[in-house]
Amino acid sequence: MTKITEEQKQIVKSTAPILKEHGKEITAIFYKKMFAAHPELLNYFNMTNQEIGTQPLALANTVYLAAENIEQLEILLPQVKTIAHKHRSLTIKAEHYPIVGEYLLKGIAEYLGDAATPEILDAWGAAYGIIADIFIEVEQEMYDALGDVRNRDFIAFKIAAKQDVAPNVFTLDLTRNDGGELLDFAPGQYISLRVKLGELFHNRQYSLTKAFDGKTYQVAIKRENEKEPAGVVSNHIYNNYQVGDTLLATLPAGDFELDADATSHVFIAGGIGITPIASMVSSFQNHDHVTLIHCVRSEEYAVFSQNFQSKLGESYHQFAGKNITKSDLERLVTSGAAIYLCGPVPFMQAVEVMLRELGHDQDDIHFEAFQPALSLV
- Say yes or no: 153 and 140 in one domain: no
- Say yes or no: 141 and 155 in one domain: no
For residue 200, what is the domain's CATH number?
2.40.30.10
**Within a domain: 260:** no
**Within a domain: 254:** no
- Say yes or no: 236 and 271 in one domain: no
d(CA 63, CA 22): 12
- The pLDDT value recorded for residue 286 is 86
Asked whether the beta carbons of 223 and 238 are under 8 A apart, the reply is yes
Strand 338-342 to 155-166 pairing:
unpaired
**Within a domain: 256:** no
For residue 30, what is the domain's CATH number?
1.10.490.10
**Within a domain: 156:** yes
Asked whether the beta carbons of 126 and 3 are under 8 A apart, the reply is yes
- Say yes or no: 135 and 165 in one domain: no
- Say yes or no: 198 and 315 in one domain: no
- Say yes or no: 162 and 32 in one domain: no
d(CA 152, CA 249): 11
d(CA 79, CA 57): 15
- The pLDDT value recorded for residue 180 is 87
Q: Which of 145, 161, 186 is the last residue of a domain?
A: 145
**Within a domain: 11:** yes
Asked whether the beta carbons of 206 and 191 are under 8 A apart, the reply is yes
- The pLDDT value recorded for residue 374 is 41
Residue span of the structural domain in which 206 resides: 149-249
- Say yes or no: 129 and 11 in one domain: yes
pLDDT tens by residue, the chain, 377 residues: 688 899 999 998 998 888 788 888 888 898 899 999 999 999 998 766 565 556 777 777 788 888 888 888 888 888 889 999 999 999 999 999 999 999 999 999 999 999 999 999 999 999 999 999 999 999 999 999 999 999 999 999 999 999 999 999 999 999 999 888 899 999 999 999 999 998 999 999 999 999 898 999 999 999 976 666 667 899 999 999 999 999 999 999 999 999 999 999 999 999 999 999 999 999 998 888 999 999 999 999 999 999 999 999 999 999 999 999 999 999 999 999 999 999 998 999 999 999 999 999 999 999 998 755 443 34
d(CA 321, CA 29): 42
Give the count of beta carbons closer than 10 Å to the beta carbon of residue 287: 17
Asked whether the beta carbons of 206 and 370 are under 8 A apart, the reply is no
Asked whether the beta carbons of 226 and 234 are under 8 A apart, the reply is no
List 97, 238, 301, 316, catalytic entry: 97
pTM for this one? 0.91
- The pLDDT value recorded for residue 227 is 65
**Within a domain: 257:** no
Whether residue 229 is preceded by a cis peptide bond, meaning omega within 30 degrees of 0, is yes
Q: Which of 145, 175, 191 is the last residue of a domain?
A: 145
* Number of domains forming the structure of the chain: 3
- Say yes or no: 118 and 13 in one domain: yes
For residue 274, what is the domain's CATH number?
3.40.50.80
- Whether residue 68 lies in the annotated active site: no
**Within a domain: 259:** no
What one-character-per-residue DSSP string does 2-48 give?
A: ----HHHHHHHHHHHHHHHHHHHHHHHHHHHHHHHH-GGGGGTS-HH
Alpha carbon distance, N-terminus to C-terminus of the chain: 29
Give the count of beta carbons closer than 10 Å to the beta carbon of residue 93: 16
The 3-state DSSP class for residue 284 equals coil
- Say yes or no: 178 and 83 in one domain: no
- Say yes or no: 185 and 269 in one domain: no
Q: Which of 96, 123, 145 is the last residue of a domain?
A: 145
- Dihedral of the CA atoms 238, 243, 244, 247 (nearest 10)? 30
List 139, 206, 301, 340, catalytic entry: 139
- The pLDDT value recorded for residue 114 is 92
Among residues 147, 14, 152, the alpha carbon closest in space to that of 88 is found at 152
Asked whether the beta carbons of 52 and 375 are under 8 A apart, the reply is no
Among residues 257, 262, 241, 234, the alpha carbon closest in space to that of 361 is found at 262
- Whether residue 226 lies in the annotated active site: no
Looking at the DSSP assignment, which residues form a beta bridge with residue 162? 172
Locate all alpha helices (DSSP H) within 38-117, ordered by sequence. 47-52, 54-68, 77-89, 96-112
- Say yes or no: 81 and 110 in one domain: yes
**Within a domain: 127:** yes
- Dihedral of the CA atoms 82, 85, 90, 91 (nearest 10)? 130
- Say yes or no: 23 and 44 in one domain: yes
Strand 155-166 to 246-249 pairing:
antiparallel
